[in-house]
Structure 1
Amino acid sequence: MLKTLKKFTALSFLLVFSSGVFAQQALEPKQLLEAMREAKEKLNYEIAFVQTTPVNMESLRYRHLNYEGKTYAQLITLDGVPQEIVQRNGVISYFQPNYQAFSINGNHIVDSLPSVLRSNFEVLAKYYDFINIGRNRVADRVVQTVRILPKDDFRYQYLVFIDENNHLLLRSDMLDREGNLLEQFRVVNLYIGDGLQQLSGYLDNVVFPPLLTEASEKDAPKTRFDWHPSWLPKGFELINASVEVDGDNTIESQLYSDGLFSFTVYRSDTIIPQEPENAWKQGPTTFYTENKNGKEMTFIGQLPISTAKRIVQDIQFK
């Protein structure tokens, strides 16, 4: 009788787990992703999570609070030397050992949090398919799993696991085209509620370090370069271009993004002239370097090596 009861209980749970609530099933994959982005900004919550790559693992805690018309957030490391990033409305400050604290203007803490949390899925739908592949469990909570699959072979894919009740992201897997794990974000503990109001008091009393000064338009270097990539995967657009001077070496850079993945191409004096080209990976990040026109062109970003190589080799000069 006891064995029969256990089998019945297990079967009942399986049926509930696989069937879900009709209202929840009515959400299309893109609607789930948009609800995830909205929950990240509107809910008051605290998560402890691990971020893992094939070569590294970090444990962190992130708190987010909307209180009295202000947005507060805090990201701190849980292992090793303490490091902290805090947000009070539109100012984000970095406190790290061995570096002078500084502040920047911004609406989000972007460090260590998946870029998928900030993506515009209306735009991404042109270049990615969103596929609901069913229910799962993360951090002892039921989640809906959505695959973000590129429509070409030039970029990576994502699996996202969205809490079925509150729509917070509880896990994301960045995968290559063969399904190998490149980077994972995984929540291990979650709290949602109004018990985070002390965070506002703490951050309101923090003396924020000064903002990094931005060069005026008069003093800013010209960013119209005599080179540009003649081929990019569809959807990638130029986000920023800049020039930095490091001693006698002038470094030009162009940052591109499709709203989910990003990369930067650098042009600088040749550092290793005996190496005509070089490519390697570190977790999800690809490094590719090739000498062109007496300068070193370097790709750093989250795309496959074959894509990086094609981008660099198709750079055109005026």
Structure 2
Amino acid sequence: MRVLPLYVVMGGWLSMPALAADAGSWMERLAAAEQKQSYTGTFVYERNGSFSSHAVWQQVEEGQVQERLLQLDGAPAEVLLVNGQMQCATDDLAAQVREAQAWHGQRLDPKALSEWYEFREIGDSRVAGRPAVALAVVPKDQHRYGFELHLDQDTALPLKSLMLNEKGQLLERFQFTQFTAGSVSAEQLKPGADCNPVTVNRREANPTSPWRSDWLPSGFTLLDANERPSPASSETVSWLSYGDGLAKFSVFLEPLRGALVEDARSQMGPTVAVSKRISTADGDVMVTVVGEIPLGTAERVALSMRASSEQAQR
């Protein structure tokens, strides 16, 4: 069956017969594949109308996963990771990878995700010259985005991923243009001279905080919490991260101490940033929610934040 064009896929999801059993099996294969498969390839990434291209090498051997990522556009930028921990990076990538690692990446759990998303097989596909199967990952409410995944029929790895809003509009694209499964050589995993060694201080996730939310979308739980210095003042900023196993967002809370700041909202591709002033017993606080969730959901989360010492609103 031919994959439907993007502009009709979203509407088609609601009327096509669901092949839930087959789609669920593919999601199980995907969950297992990413930590077991070695491969090399090149891919394009599109976000907010901007494109970039990258080369990637991943070697899985005796339970160890080594990954090298190299940006092919503009000045060379790369990062090397072993078991998800950064070993080296060019300066402009180091901060990005550190922030990504702060998420303590959620392991894909199709059974848990099926509470919040519906999986449907929507047809056969071909990506990077390889046969693939196309799946729809359809959110069951308005508080998260949907996906169209094209999984390699041989390895079950994602050859293409489209993130779509509720209108079927493209928010983000990841797509291989060349993909080869199999072992990667030590030479291919060797970083360039500009990949500077880095040290990342590992810590256990801390799912406690002096802050809480009176409301969260169903399925989202607190993954981690911390405090960090503000980049703009001498204040300490509280940070919390939430996820549902697929979607994630962060909440930052900073005391205002009489500072005059305005509420704000913005969106770049799938990523929203919403800032709201809230009042607490200790004074006004600016709450900023950043993540890949709809704007309305981010605003509701921001307005629901409370100090843990305050009685929960009923």
TM range (shorter): 0.7 to 0.9
In structure 2, the gaps of 5 or more residues are 3-18
**Structure 1, residues 273-292: CA drift from partner, whole Å, max 9, x if none?**
352x2211011101111111
Distance 1:90 1:206 in 2: 20
TM-score normalised by length of structure 2: 0.78
Q: Distance in 1 between matches of 2:300 and 2:204?
A: 35
Counterpart-to-counterpart distance in 2, 1:132 and 1:216: 37
For residues 92 and 173 of structure 2, the distance between their equivalents in structure 1, rounded to whole angstroms, comes to 28
Q: 1:268 to 1:80 in 2, by over 3 A?
A: same
2:208 touches 2:224 (CA, 8 Å); kept in 1? no
Give the direction of change, closer, same or farther, for the CA distance of 1:91–1:300 in structure 2 (3 Å limit). Answer: closer
Q: 1:137 to 1:278 in 2, by over 3 A?
A: same
2:55 to 61, 69, 88: 61
For residues 243 and 304 of structure 2, the distance between their equivalents in structure 1, rounded to whole angstroms, comes to 18
- Name the SS of the counterpart of 1:159 in structure 2: strand
Cα distance, 1:67 vs structure 2 = 3.4
Paired residues for 1:113-124 under 5 Å: 118-124=107-113
- Report the counterpart of residue 87 of structure 1 in structure 2: 81
CA distance in 1, matches of 2:63, 2:172: 35
Letter in 2 for 1:273: L
Written as runs of structure 1 = structure 2, the 5 A alignment for 1:153-232 is 153-194=142-183, 196-199=184-187, 202=190, 209-213=197-201, 224-225=209-210, 227-232=211-216
Q: Within 5 A, what are the aligned runs for 1:266-305?
A: 266-270=252-256, 273-275=260-262, 277-293=263-279, 294-305=284-295
Q: Secondary structure at the match of 1:66?
A: strand
CA distance 1:253–1:45, change in 2 (3 Å): same
Match for residue 12 of structure 2? none
Secondary structure of the 1:149 match is strand
Correspondences of 1:116-135 after superposition (within 5 Å): 118-135=107-124
In structure 2, relative to structure 1, the CA distance for the partners of 1:100 and 1:163 (3 Å cut) is: closer
Match of 1:311 among 286, 301, 304: 301
- 1:20 maps to none
2:220 aligns with 236
Supply the distance in 1 between the matched residues of 2:189 and 2:122 (Cα, whole angstroms). 42
Residue number in structure 2 paired with 1:18: none
Greater gyration radius: 1
Q: In structure 2, what is the equivalent of residue 150 of structure 1?
A: 139
Kept after mapping to 2: 8 A contact 1:72/1:199:
no
The letter of the residue matching 2:40 is: E
Structure 1's unaligned 5+ residue stretches are: 1-12, 15-24
Once residues 161 and 92 of structure 2 are traced to their aligned partners in structure 1, the CA distance between those partners, rounded to angstroms, is 31
Secondary structure at the residue paired with 1:307? helix
SS where residue 41 of structure 1 aligns? Answer: coil
Please report how far the alpha carbon of residue 254 of structure 1 lies from its aligned counterpart in structure 2 after TM superposition.
Answer: 0.8
* Runs of 4+ deviating beyond 6 Å: 99-104, 205-208
8 Å CA contact retained: 2:86, 2:199: no
Q: Deviations over 1:287-309 (max 9, x none)?
A: 11111111111110111011111
Equivalent-residue separation in structure 2 for 1:69 and 1:296 (angstroms):
44
Give the TM-score normalised by structure 1.
0.77
Considering only aligned residues, what root-mean-square deviation do their CA atoms show, in Å?
3.5
